[in-house]
Structure 1
Amino acid sequence: MKDHYQVIVVGGGTGGLTVAAQLLNSSNPPEVAIIEPSEKHYYQPLWTLVGAGVFPKEESERNEADFMPAGAEWIKDAVASFDPAKNKLSTKAGKELGYDYLVVSAGIQIDWDAIPGLKESVGKPGTGVVSNYSYDTVSATWETLRNFKGGVALFTEPSTAVKCGGAPQKIMYLADDAFRKQGVRDKTTIHFCSPKTSIFAVKKYADSLDKVIARKGIEPKWEHNLKALNPDKKEAIFDHKGSDITLKYDMIHVTPPQSSPNFIKQSPLATKDGWVDVNKDTLQHNKFANVFALGDNSSLPTSKTGAAIRKQAPTVVANLLSAIAGQPL
């Protein structure tokens, strides 16, 4: 491993791999290194269907090496900190690496510890607490759904940004379908608990989804933000307009709070909210001209989805190649 690269890409997920591959397939490919600690790559959109029993979770797992672009140097390490003023970063293994250009696409962090009672109960048999947001817990969602005999089923979403904004609802609709097929829907109350005041931010779609939840008999609880679980009593505590509200449950699917990775939040690259601070048109950093970012860890106003990355990656690549060539973006 060298100590300086022309382009360092942080993150071997959808965004980082896409940008690296497109850079290396360009007519004048730069030198590219990818920093990614994981040996496995997960197709996370499938986890909703894994949680609904449509696929086994193993179908979502591949070897990271199978997706590493030819010509890229894979650094199997994780970033610990950035020093963009010196065009350097440090890794958890203690290496200091320099770069001419930096692309940050490290995804989003799941904050399991933000809800007391969640980490120790999620996916554990008998707790009724499930979540599709981890490879280790997603199978428990389907085990809970298929063995459900009726009662109260809660589905939550947090007040934070989340990967795939529709996912907290998708598993709820699939659960409703499973309960009907199993003959227990008439013995089941489904609540969608959200800190928001409507089912979707765009009114046109919210109007349609309001009809869906009404047709399915799903009862929304607006301005309910999950703050703690008492798994021994099967109680969920929500903040509702500044007061604590306790709801009993027989099962609860939790969409956990999410945020920018800590090593980004604590860096000079971040906005006050923790995201990599980039121009929404160029995806270039607003302070450090040789830094670009895309995907879930960026400050872009788009949804945090693979679909968004599909449109963002070509912009990063085109502008980065222009910057390398000394041309305007």
Structure 2
Amino acid sequence: MAAQVACNHMSAMLATRTLIRRSVPSSAARWASTAASRDKFKVLVIGAGSGGLSVANQIYYRFEAAGKPLNEGDIGILDAAEYHYYQPGWTLVGAGLKQKTDTRRPLASLIPSHLAHIPENVKSFSPTSSSVTTTSGRTIAYESLVVATGLQTNWSAIPGLQKALADPSSGVSSIYSYDTCDKVWHDIDALRSGKAIFTQPAGVLKCAGAPQKIMWMAWDQFRKTGRGDTISVDFYTGMPSMFSVKKYSDALNQLRIERGVSAEFQHNLVSVDSANAKATFKKADSTTVDVDYTLLHVSPPMGPLEAMKGAPIADAAGWIPVDKYTLRHTNPEFGNVWALGDCSNLPTSKTAAAVTAQAPVLTENLFSVVDTGKISEAKYDGYTSCPLLTGYGQLMLAEFKYDGVPKETFSRFFGDQTTPRLAFYHLKKDFFPWIYWQSMVKGTWFGASGPIRPKFH
């Protein structure tokens, strides 16, 4: 009921917006091809994921709102992907709540006519000449560059993992890819007894709460179907605690204790032996331990894209260094370079919710620099959110900003957000996927501000 009311309310608000949303008509194919073949763009966006699509549209609309509209095709978006994925939905697939086909759409169908789509990937950057080279060897120049390439999942970093994932009877799965997220539900549904292990790596991870979201859903499914006494659930994490923010970590640890879920902290998965159903973990003292499993859910290590490693706009690790408040490149010589989302070095969790807060700030600052030569008053405070599923019909909504300081949207209505609630569950299950496809990728969703572009002065 809460989700339906929210959806109806937001639908009405979105319908009243005067913002013109353009889709690509078939008659525009020739024009789109011509625009994409340009060798220079006023704004070039690298990556058509959550961050890239959102910010590319917002930039176009921001210039339009200021009475200084860009021409159609002045903004180019570079990405060779065939599909765009709603990755937060893969947890729902793994929990048996969605079909994985609901989580993807053809990328071309999401790029409106005012954006020029270049279906290639970036190979190298030349920030001193304000240009990039694509994988085909084409050089594309820009006046402003926005990097939103995301990160990569390093499946091969764990020996034996890829083989185990490819084996339908291995009991090994992961919600971190379109190809494997439905195997998670198959394994959870099929397990009748034994040891179910859920892992989380040390270091960078998209949506760091996801490894235990699927664990809690599995625990609840086992309990609801009478298998709770025959299946043990264990959490092996490379991190020192349940969550990076103490308030939520404490609540999750208490939940773990109450539910009888064991945990091994600073245990990082380093190999999988699916033939013998053994997982090897490396401990903080560098020793290893072999653990038997019946079901193994793996959250693999992640890192920057190969194209970013050694790039002149990247730091030594391969992340794009930006001012954590303005999202502008920290090198003054690259003042026309910006970044957001997973590819950046922003000291906050890498989530779609973070992008909703970052995109309008980046947009405002880029517009201001182009328009006046100066940065605006728009500042990103590090806001991100992690909707922590704790079971069917319940969710703990973690929201926080820089330094792990809680920044809760609904606490004045519902109280402390560490209490799992049905209303929060429907936000994750129903409202967020709907608003993602209907608004966020179109550049008309601004996080806590909803469909209203925030004002920064």
TM-score tier by shorter-chain length is: over 0.9
- Alpha-carbon displacement from aligned partner over 1:117-175 (angstroms, at most 9, x marks no partner): 11121152111110011111111001100000111111001112111111011000000
Indicate the residue corresponding to 1:21 in structure 2. 57
For each residue in 1:51-92, what CA deviation from the matched residue of structure 2 results, as whole angstroms up to 9, or x when unmatched? 011111111111212321331100001111111122111111
**Structure 1 residue 323 and structure 2 residue 369: aligned?**
yes
Q: Count the aligned residue pairs.
A: 329
1:100 to 135, 143, 148: 143
The one-letter amino acid paired with 2:108 is A
Which residue is equivalent to 2:348? 302
**Larger mean Cα displacement after TM superposition, 27-36 or 213-222:** 27-36
1:81 is aligned to 2:127 = no
**1:229-273 superposed Cα distances (whole Å, 9 cap, x missing partner):** 111111111101210110010011000001111111220111222
Q: Are residues 1:152 and 2:195 paired?
A: yes
1:36 equivalent to 2:82? Answer no
Question: For residue 75 of structure 2, what is the amino acid of its counterpart?
Answer: V
**Corresponding position of 1:283:** 327
Match of 1:251 among 292, 295, 303: 295
Alignment partner, residue 292 of structure 1 = 338
Contact persistence 1:11–1:104 (CA under 8 A): yes
Please identify runs of 4+ aligned residues in structure 1 that moved more than 6 A. Answer: none
Equivalent residue number for residue 312 of structure 1 = 358
Counterpart residue identity of residue 115, structure 2:
A
Contact 1:51–1:171 under 8 Å retained in 2: yes
Counterparts in 2 of 1:116-195, with a 5 A limit?
116-195=159-238
Structure 1 gaps of 5+ residues are none
Greater Cα offset, 284-293 or 114-123: 114-123
Instruction: Return the offset for 1:4.
Output: 1.3
Measure, in 1, the Cα distance between the counterparts of 2:69 and 2:117.
16
AA partner of residue 143 (structure 2): D
Contact preservation (8 Å) 1:107, 1:297: yes
Q: Is there any run of 5+ residues in structure 2 with no aligned partner, and where?
A: 1-36, 376-457
Greater displacement, 195-204 / 298-307: 195-204
Quote how far apart the aligned CAs of 1:326 are: 3.4
SS in 2 for 1:176: helix
| 2:361 aligned partner, one-letter code | T
State how 1:228-267 maps to structure 2 within 5 Å.
228-240=271-283, 241-267=285-311
Q: Is the 8 A contact 1:123 1:141 kept in 2?
A: no
- Per-residue CA deviation, residues 184-234 of structure 1 (Å, 9 max, x unaligned), is 111111111011221112222121111111121110011100011111111
1:198 to 220, 241, 245: 241
2:150–2:341 CA contact under 8 A, matched in 1: yes
Provide the C-alpha distance between the structure 1 equivalents of 2:134 and 2:242, rounded to a whole number of angstroms. Answer: 41
Q: Provide the secondary structure at the position in 2 that maps to 1:132.
A: coil
String of CA shifts for 1:24-56, please: whole Å, max 9, x gaps: 112224410000111211111111010011111
1:90 to 2:133 alignment = yes
Corresponding residue of 1:268? 312
Q: Which of the two has greater helix per residue?
A: 2
Could you tell me which residue of structure 2 aligns to residue 6 of structure 1? 42
Q: 1:281 deviation in Å?
A: 1.1
Letter of the 1:11 counterpart? G
SS in 2 for 1:16: helix
User: For 2:368, what is the secondary structure of its paired residue?
Assistant: helix
Distance, in Å, in 2 between the alignment partners of 1:327 and 1:205 is: 42
CA contact (8 A) 2:310 2:316 kept: no
* Percent of aligned positions that are identical: 40
SS in 2 for 1:324: helix
Deviation at 1:182, TM superposition (A): 2.4
Say whether the 8 Å CA contact 1:123–1:140 is kept in structure 2.
no
Q: Aligned AA for 2:358?
A: Q
Local SS of the residue matching 2:165: coil
TM-score by length of 1: 0.97
- Secondary structure class of the residue paired with 1:116: coil
In structure 2, what is the Cα distance between the partners aligned to 1:179 and 1:63?
Answer: 35
Q: How far, CA to CA, are the matches of 1:77 and 1:305 in structure 2?
A: 25
Q: Corresponding residue for 1:53?
A: 96
